Amino acid sequence: MPNTGIITNLPQDICVEVPVLVNRRGFNPIHVGALPPQCAALDNINIAVEEMAVEAALSGDPELVFQAVAYDPLTAAVLSLSEIKKMVNEMLKKNKKYLPQFRNVKI
């Protein structure tokens, strides 16, 4: 559901998973309120990563791809920045035909 104040400490209009009541009027989200601060912090990191990834896809900016992957908590926990850079370059190279917005990027 779009966050329309359902979760009060997350940005408006992001997609959120919340309980809903389904009836003849459709899907009616149930107000959740504020998440515990530690959960909201982790969600906000993931939101930022996803927004960077979308911007990278729309703009064809490989540096934004790298930044999005580098800020991902799981990736950052298991790979160094140089390993992430190498992985991103390999991914862009391997998927060049599926990612036309990155065709002019030298990898």
Instruction: State pLDDT tens for residues 31-70.
Output: 999 999 999 999 999 999 999 999 999 999 999 999 999 9
> From the centroid of its chain, how far is CA 72?
9
Angle value at C-alpha 62, between 76 and 107, nearest 5 degrees: 105
Torsion angle, alpha carbons of 31, 36, 39, 44, to 10: 70
Q: What pLDDT does residue 103 have? A: 76
Q: For residue 102, name the pLDDT band (cuts at 50, 70, 90).
A: confident
Report the predicted TM-score, pTM, of the whole model to 2 decimal places.
0.78
Distance of alpha carbon 65 from alpha carbon 50, whole angstroms: 10
Distance of alpha carbon 2 from alpha carbon 67, whole angstroms: 26
Q: For residue 15, name the pLDDT band (cuts at 50, 70, 90).
A: very high
